[in-house]
Structure 1
Amino acid sequence: MAGSRFVPDRGLTTRMILTMALLGAVYAAFVVALVLVGMPWWLVALVVGGFALLQYFTSGRAAMFSMGAHEVTPQQEPRLHAVVDRLCAMADMPKPRVAVARTDVPNAFATGRSEKDAVVCATTGLMRRLDPVELEAVLAHELSHVAHRDVVVMTIAGFLGVVAGFLTQAGLRFAVFAPGRRGGNDSGPAPAAVALLVVLVSAVVWAAGFVLTRMLSRYRELSADRAAAYLTGRPSALGGALTKITGDMARIPTDDLRRVEPFNAFFFTPALSGKGFGIGSLLATHPPIEQRLAQLADISRRLGGGG
């Protein structure tokens, strides 16, 4: 976040480093375990390395494609570009590419491996519902993700779960079609047994990666709210946008919400989510709206009620 005027967040930096370190340890144990249960090392390297490169270089494009988003010029979307220009000047950061997703689901997201590759996207449903001050607050939230570089951290963190999920499914299919040996002098574990061990290891790794990334995801949303509130000086505008979007989300057809639900972790608000502070919220991509609004109200008080 060098050079950015967004409020620095040492807690977020610490959590990102810790999460990456823990995921690195899980990743190393994952590779070793797969080799020990009989999976050829070259196949492990090919699968894990291939997925890592694919996730790193294509995740941004995949998100844009899946959302039906496309980059827009200042001539096509002057209002949106004007807001982004103003925020980037306030934050003293490079302007990312600007995109629009033509869907009535009111949301926004940021993606990209770096500031040079970053894209900030708003949906037409979001722009239609929010007034200029609220839209600015939401886009400030998304730009803070770019400035904090937590988009790329979440992308890297998510790849391990993708690999583990793929190997779990592949192992289950292989176990079905590769029954154990029925006799003979062949030594070594049966193919089906190896496949089931791969499934077990992959499932454990997937669960560990899932919990770690969800914990980081919830904290980074609170961090982005704080950064946006302090940059704009209007925490109440962000709170108003959050309340308005969450309320309007209930009026969107469930099928439309389910189509975009896989990208919840990158959205300003989740398309589908539980409410309150129950057990389900521990596995959520975002903190409960009550927690986000309480934080913004506290910031407003610190700013002297000028939010």
Structure 2
Amino acid sequence: MVKWKRDLGLEGRMLLTMFLLAVVYLFFLVFLTFMNAPPLFMLLFIGVALGAQYYYSDRIVLWTMNAKVVSENEAPNLHQTITRLCAIADLPKPRIAVVNTQVPNAFATGKGPNSAVVAVTTGLMDRLNQGELEAVLAHELSHVKNRDMAILTIASFISTLAFYFVRYYLYFGAFGGNRRDSGGIMLVWIVSIAVWVASFLLIRALSRYREFAADRGSAIITGQPSNLTSALLKISDVMPRIPSDDLRKVEGMNAFFIIPAAVSGSFMNLFSTHPSTEKRIAALEKIQKELEL
């Protein structure tokens, strides 16, 4: 029988990702200081931005998705299901939110198990049976148990700072001196893009691995990997038929979703936040065999 155990691979990847990101951003700060950027402004900007992102990440994500936190009276079946799954997973019950959209998806956010929010869309609840819904909810609870939500939130957020610095540089002329007149503006732009690309690749690699870890967690919590396989197939099959406008509205949340809501041909498909559905199903089939032993 497969039992829950600490995923050292995931924990190691989270630590490595944050360490490498810290190295990348330290280099960027040193470089901008060399280019006459005001150090105090940069430190204050980063401190305030990261603090706000960490403490208000769940509210920001819920606001972005127009998600509504629902009470037990408003969604009794959803609350009962999550209460039971939390008991199995040894987790405190998170807040529960519903997003009114036909895009079938779910996500978890928050700083940790004691402040987590699990959200599902109406499109998901309309299309999945009870077993499949439980598997998806267990997947999201696995993200909570693995504590990978805050890491991804912070890492994703600070990867955008390079662009803010560039805009500050271009539009406000914040960096002075001869370096700007001698081509410094182009150098800052190039380095900023390099910083963003490095951050982007690190975050995507972590995001893909954490989905495998959450799939495994779902299989362990429910004891039915086949239900998650069925749910993934249903969501993947429905996604191409969702209107492009609806998908574009939520694409920015792809890293948090169980399956990315990507418009065909969009940039998000080039470096996916998720492993392919085929690879995820293959991993779940392997877990199914382990459970049968």
Q: Check whether TM > 0.5.
A: yes
1:29 aligns with 2:33: no
Query: Which one of the candidate residues 213, 217, 223 is aligned to 2:207?
Result: 217
Larger radius of gyration: 1
| TM-score in terms of structure 2 length | 0.92
Query: Which one of the candidate residues 275, 281, 285 is aligned to 1:297?
Result: 285
Aligned ranges for residues 89-238 of structure 1 at < 5 Å? 89-174=87-172, 188-190=178-180, 193-238=183-228
1:282 deviates by 6.8
Deviations 1:220-261 (A, max 9, x none): 001100111122110000000000011111111010001000
> Which residue number corresponds to residue 276 of structure 2?
288
Equivalent pair of 2:58/2:111 in contact (CA under 8 Å): yes
> Which residue number corresponds to residue 232 of structure 2?
242
Equivalent pair of 2:247/2:263 in contact (CA under 8 Å): no
What amino acid is the match of 1:225?
D
Aligned residue pairs total: 290
Deviations 1:9-53 (A, max 9, x none): 111011011111111111211111110111111121122223212
Equivalent pair of 1:7/1:230 in contact (CA under 8 Å): no
What amino acid is the match of 2:203?
T
| Cα distance in structure 2, aligned partners of 1:273 and 1:260 | 10
1:280 deviates by 8.0
1:274 deviates by 6.6
Deviations 1:97-141 (A, max 9, x none): 111111111000000012221100011111111111100000000
Alignment RMSD (CA, Å): 2.3
Equivalent pair of 1:171/1:199 in contact (CA under 8 Å): no
| TM-score in terms of structure 1 length | 0.88
Identical columns (%): 47
Equivalent pair of 1:6/1:147 in contact (CA under 8 Å): no
What amino acid is the match of 1:69?
A
Give 5+ residue unaligned stretches, structure 2.
none
What amino acid is the match of 2:59?
R
What amino acid is the match of 2:56?
T
1:63 deviates by 1.3
| Cα distance in structure 2, aligned partners of 1:17 and 1:234 | 31
Aligned ranges for residues 8-47 of structure 1 at < 5 Å? 8-47=6-45
Query: Which one of the candidate residues 245, 251, 257 is aligned to 1:255?
Result: 245
> Which residue number corresponds to residue 184 of structure 1?
none
